Amino acid sequence: MEYILGEDKPKGCIFCPIPGEDPAERLVLFSGRLTRVMMNKYPYINGHLLIFPLRHVAGLEDLSPEELLDLQIKLRQAIAILRKVMRPDGFNVGLNLGVVAGAGVEAHLHWHVVPRWQGDTNYIPVFAEVRVIPEHFRQTYERLAPHFKALKDEDQTCAM
């Protein structure tokens, strides 16, 4: 509600780096040469991550082969970290292309990685239109951050 009702929404793209930014304040877990991983500040469930190219592009067709490969490698690594730290039973991984498909930030391509647990939904969203998150997102950030800091940002070769 703070974001929805607030008038101090950030200007510009929420995904693009800001000079002098505090990565922890912006919930950035990893920032590499081509790809970033950040937590969703308004998650569907704990551990909801966003993975996106550093370059501000809207569509898959706008990505270079190197960017596409790096994004997929970071997606795989992020899922492995979430499996280790949070032990979910499964994942929803999605890419919303276009507003009608659910893209909240249409101009900057991003994947959602949502860990799921057996029985993680209940009646509250249906009756009260709210979600119950069992851990504050800052606590989740602190648990995940050391694992993402250990990731390497290696050059990948891609013959596409």
pLDDT at 158: 46
pTM score, two decimals?
0.76
Q: Would you state the pLDDT for residue 155?
A: 53
Q: What is the pLDDT along the chain (160 residues), one digit of tens a residue?
A: 555 555 665 677 888 888 898 999 999 999 999 999 999 988 878 899 999 999 999 999 999 999 999 999 999 999 999 999 999 999 999 988 877 777 677 788 999 999 998 877 654 554 455 555 667 778 888 889 889 888 887 655 544 4
The answer to whether residue 110 is catalytic is: yes
Residue extents of the structural domains in the chain: 23-149
The CATH class of 23-149 is: alpha beta
Calculate the average pLDDT of the chain. 83
The 3-state secondary structure of the chain reads CHHHHCCCCCCCCCCCCCCCCCCCCCCEEEECCCEEEEECCCCCCCCCEEEEECCCCCCHHHCCHHHHHHHHHHHHHHHHHHHHHHCCCEEEEEECCCHHHCCCCCCCCCEEEEEECCCCCCCHHHHHCCCCCCCCHHHHHHHHHHHHHCCCCCCCCCCC
Task: Say which of 110, 112, 136, 147 is annotated catalytic.
Answer: 110
